[in-house]
Amino acid sequence: MSTIDKIWRDKHGVCHVEGKDKIEAFGLMGYAHGKDRGMQMLLMRILGQGRASEFLDSSDEMLEIDKFFRRMNWTGSISSQIEKFSPEAKEINDAYCAGVNRAFAQKIPWECKLLGFKPEPWRIENSILISRMIGYLTLSQSQGEMERLLIEFVQAGMDEERLNELFPGILGGFDIDLIKKIKLAERLVSPVSLWNIAMPLMMASNNWAVSGEKTASGKPILSNDVHLEVNRLPNVWYEMVLKIKDRYAMGGTMPGAPGLLTGRNPDLAWSVTYTFMDSTDSWVEKCKDGKYFREPDIWINFTKREEIIKRKKKNPVKVVFYENKHGILEGNPNKEGYYITTSWASAFSGAVTLDSLIKMFDAKTVTQGMDLFGRIETSWNWILADKNGNIGYQMSGLMPKRREGVTGFVPLPGWEEKNDWQGFESPQDLPRCYNPECGFFVTTNQNLNEYGKVDPINVGMGPYRADRIGKLLSENNDITREDMYKIHYDVYSTQAALFMKILAPLLPDTSQGRLLKNWNFEYSADSEGAFLFDRVYKALYLEVFGKNGFGTDAVDHIDKQTGIFNDFYINFDRILLSETSVWFGTRTREEIYQKAAEKALKAQPEKWGNTRKVIMKNILFDGKLPKFLGFDRGPITIIGGLSTPHQGQIFESAGRQTTFAPGFRMVVDLSTDEINTNMAGGPSDRRFSKWYCSDLENWISGKYKTLVVNSKEKYKL
C-alpha cells in the first residue's frame, strides 16, 4: 500500500486510515492526532503536568493553575496503571504513541519554537493523563464546588431549614456545628480559568437513541450533540474513520488518547454525555503539629509531598501538599484547626478506561457495549443502538460505596472510620436501561437515579432538555435523520413555559409586558421575548437568593465566578417555582415575581441574537493577535438558552467570556454505513491549513456532512 492508501483525507478534510490490523490502524490514529492536533495535545500535557509556568508564561494566575494540577497529582501512580493493560491494549497504546512521535519527528508545531521548548516524546503515561483530564473536565470539579458552597453557606449563617429546601434529601450526616469550624483556604482556581489553555469546558450534552419501531428506516437512529465551549479553536473533537479489512469504526476522538468516544462500527453505534455522579467527597480533619486525629486517641503524620514549579524567567516555587487516605488536605496541618481533605474516585484511573474504548471497535451488540462502558472509570452517560434493533443506556464511573444514610454531599468527620469509602459500586447497579417500552431513551445531564439500584447523582441539571426532546420523539413514529437535525437546533424552553404560567398573569400592560406575554418560549436569534424573560429570570435570583438568602453581592459572585447557577439551576428553580418557600421571607411568590418583572421590564427589548455574539479564539493566543491574521474567527451568534435542546449559554466568569453550545453534532441511522456530523471548527489546529475552520459554516447553518467508509476522493493528509 502507498502512504495515501493507508492514511488520507476525504473531501471534508476528515482523516481516514486503513491498517492491516488494529495495531497499525491505531498507530495511524496517533500519527493523525500528532499531525493535525499536535499543539492541542502538547498544551493539554503541559497543563496536566502542572508545567504551564515553565513553558507558557510565568504570571501569578498561571502559577495557581499549575498548583491546582500539582495538587491533583494526575501524573502520579501511572506506572501501576500500565501494568493493568491487556496485552492487546498495551500494544495498541504503544503503536499510538509511536504514531504521535513519528508525526512530531517530521514536524513539530511551529508554536513550540515560539515558546522555546522542544516536546518530549509522547508516552503511554501521557495518554493516561489525558484520559484523567477528560474524565474530570469541569463537571467533577463543579460537583466539588457545590459541596464547598454548602460549607460557605453554613459559615455565612444560613439556617438548616433553608439548606434542606435547597439541597433536599442529600444532607445525611450533616453536622452544622462541625462545618462551622472548618478553616477554608483561599478559593481554588475557577473552572473557567483552569481549562482556558487547552481543554474546553464541557458543561452539558444531549444524546438519545430511537428504536427502529419509531423510525422511517426501520433501524435504530442514534444522536449526540456535545455541549462544550465553542468560543475556542480548535474544536476539542477530532473526527476519524478507521478501517481494517471488512471492519470499520468512525466518529469523534479526543486527541491524546486512542479510541472513539462517540461513533459507530458496522454493528453498533454509541454516544456520550457527562453525568453528575457524585464521585468527589470531602472529610473534616482535626489537625495539629502536622498530624491528623483518629479515634480513639491517635495522632498520625500526614504524608508530605513537595513539588517544584519552574517559572519562565522567574525563580522556581516550592509547593507542599499534605495527604492521607482521604486525599489532599486544603490547609496547613501545622496550624491547629479543622480542615478538609478531598478525593476524586477516578484520580488513579486510566488503563481500564482506555482498554474498554479500544474494545468497542469489535463490539457488536448493545449488551456487549453496555458491559464495556460500565467498566469505564470516569462518569459518563452512554447510549447505544445496534443493527439488531436494540437500544440501551449505561452509566459509567467509579461510584464510592458509602455508609448507609449518607450521600457524599456533606463533609463527614475523617476520624470516624465508618465514614471511609468501602470500595466502589458494581456497574450493574448503576443506572442502566435496555429496550425501554417507549422506544427511545434520552440523557441531558439530568437525574437518572431511577434507572439504577444505587443513587449516584446528588445534584445535577434540570430535566427541561430531556422533557422537550422526549416530547418531540414521542409524537413521531416515522423518525428520520432530518428530524434529529431539527431537534439538535431546537430552541424551545420548557423551563420558560413553566415560569411563564406564573409570570404571565402578573405582567404589566406595557409594550414590554405584552411582548413577553406573547412570547413563544423560543430562544431564536430574532426573539425579543427571550431577552426580556432572561432579565426577569435573573431578577428573580436577586430577589429570592439575594435579598432573602445570601446577599446580592454573593449572588453576583456565584453568578460571575462559578458555574453553580449554570450547572445546578434546578435546585434554585425548584424554590422559585414553589407556591411557598422559606426563601420567600414575608412575601408571596406572586409579589416576588411582580417585583422582578417591574425591575427587569424597564429595559428596552433587544433581539436575543444581538446579545449572543462571540469571537472564537485560538487556544494558545487567546485573542492577542490582530484579527487579520485569522487565528480567531467570528463573531458568531449563539442561539438557544440555559435549558433548550440547543443549549446556548454565554457568560463572564473569572474575567473571561465562555460559552456552552453543541460544538459537535452526530446522527447515526443504522440502516446505512454512514454518520452525519458537523462541528464548530475543523480537523486541523494549524491556522494556515484549509481545514482549520472548514466545518464552521455547516455548523452555523445546520448543514450536515456525510462520512462514509470508502470515500472515493482521497487527498494527502
650 or 451, which is more confident: 451
**151 neighbors 183 (Cβ within 8 angstroms):** no
Print the SS3 string covering 599-611: HHCCCCCCCHHHH
- Residue 652 reports pLDDT greater than 70: no
pLDDT band at 189 (very low <50, low <70, confident <90, very high): very low
Sole residue written with cell 483525507:
9
The C-alpha cell of 636 is what? 458568531
List for the chain the helix, strand, coil content (%; round to 5): 40, 25, 40
Taking only the tens place, the pLDDT of each residue in 492-530 is 999 999 999 999 999 999 999 999 999 999 999 999 999
Per-residue pLDDT, 192 = 44
Sole residue written with cell 504514531:
99
CA dihedral 526, 530, 532, 536 (to 10 degrees): -170
- Residue 560 reports pLDDT greater than 80: no
Per-residue pLDDT, 174 = 94
Per-residue pLDDT, 656 = 66
Strand partners, 380: 274, 396
- Residue 716 reports pLDDT greater than 90: yes
558 three-state secondary structure: helix
User: What is the largest distance, in Å, between two alpha-carbon atoms of the chain?
Assistant: 79
Triad 595, 600, 604: Cα angle to 5°: 145
Q: What is the amino acid identity at position 648?
A: G
- Give the span between the Cα atoms of 164 and 336, in whole angstroms: 31
**707 neighbors 695 (Cβ within 8 angstroms):** no
Sole residue written with cell 502507498:
2
Per-residue pLDDT, 148 = 83
Taking only the tens place, the pLDDT of each residue in 163-173 is 999 999 999 99
Q: Tell me whether strands 613-618 and 232-233 are parallel, antiparallel or unpaired.
A: parallel
Share of the chain above pLDDT 90, in %: 83
Alpha helices in 49-86 (DSSP H): 52-55, 60-72, 78-82
**408 neighbors 327 (Cβ within 8 angstroms):** no
24 or 246, which is more confident: 24
Per-residue pLDDT, 141 = 64
Question: 0.85 cut: is pTM over it?
Answer: yes
Q: Which domains does the chain have, with CATH numbers?
A: 494-610 (1.10.1400)
Burial of 504 (0-12, 13-18, 19+ CB in 10 A): middle
pLDDT band at 249 (very low <50, low <70, confident <90, very high): very high
Query: Would you mind telling me the total number of residues written for the chain in this entry?
Result: 717
pLDDT band at 1 (very low <50, low <70, confident <90, very high): low
The C-alpha cell of 110 is what? 511551529
- Across 428-434, average pLDDT: 98
- Residue 200 reports pLDDT greater than 60: no
Sole residue written with cell 488494529:
22
Burial profile 52-70: b = 16 or more Cβ within 10 angstroms, e = fewer: bbbbbebeeebbbbbbbbb
Which range, of 244-248, 263-267, 426-430, 653-657, averages the lowest pLDDT? 653-657
pLDDT band at 654 (very low <50, low <70, confident <90, very high): low
- Give the span between the Cα atoms of 47 and 52, in whole angstroms: 6
- Give the span between the Cα atoms of 357 and 22, in whole angstroms: 13
- Give the span between the Cα atoms of 102 and 125, in whole angstroms: 17
The C-alpha cell of 516 is what? 413577553
- DSSP per position, 372-428: HHHH-SS-EEEEEEETTS-EEEEEES-PBP--TT--SSS-EETT-GGGS---B--GG
The C-alpha cell of 205 is what? 450534552
186 or 342, which is more confident: 342
Taking only the tens place, the pLDDT of each residue in 61-116 is 889 889 989 999 988 888 889 989 999 999 999 999 999 999 999 999 999 999 99
Per-residue pLDDT, 651 = 74
Taking only the tens place, the pLDDT of each residue in 630-646 is 999 999 999 999 999 99
- Give the span between the Cα atoms of 321 and 376, in whole angstroms: 29
The C-alpha cell of 295 is what? 479515634
pLDDT band at 188 (very low <50, low <70, confident <90, very high): very low
Per-residue pLDDT, 139 = 59
- Give the span between the Cα atoms of 528 and 518, in whole angstroms: 11
Per-residue pLDDT, 301 = 98
Taking only the tens place, the pLDDT of each residue in 458-499 is 998 999 999 999 999 999 999 999 999 999 999 999 999 999
Average pLDDT, the chain: 93
Among 133-142, 176-185, 500-509, top mean pLDDT goes to 500-509
According to DSSP, residue 59 is labeled -
Print the SS3 string covering 290-353: CEEEECCCEEEECEEEEEEEEECCEEEEEEEEEEECCEEEECCCCCCEEEEEEEECCCCCCHHH
Sole residue written with cell 479553536:
233
Taking only the tens place, the pLDDT of each residue in 14-69 is 999 999 999 999 999 999 999 999 999 999 999 999 999 999 999 988 898 899 89
Among 119-133, 136-150, 537-551, top mean pLDDT goes to 119-133
Per-residue pLDDT, 475 = 97
pLDDT band at 199 (very low <50, low <70, confident <90, very high): low
Share of the chain above pLDDT 70, in %: 95
Per-residue pLDDT, 653 = 58
Sheet holding 232-233, edge to edge: 232-233, 613-618, 633-637
Sole residue written with cell 471492519:
247
**714 neighbors 17 (Cβ within 8 angstroms):** no
- Residue 5 reports pLDDT greater than 90: no
Per-residue pLDDT, 140 = 62
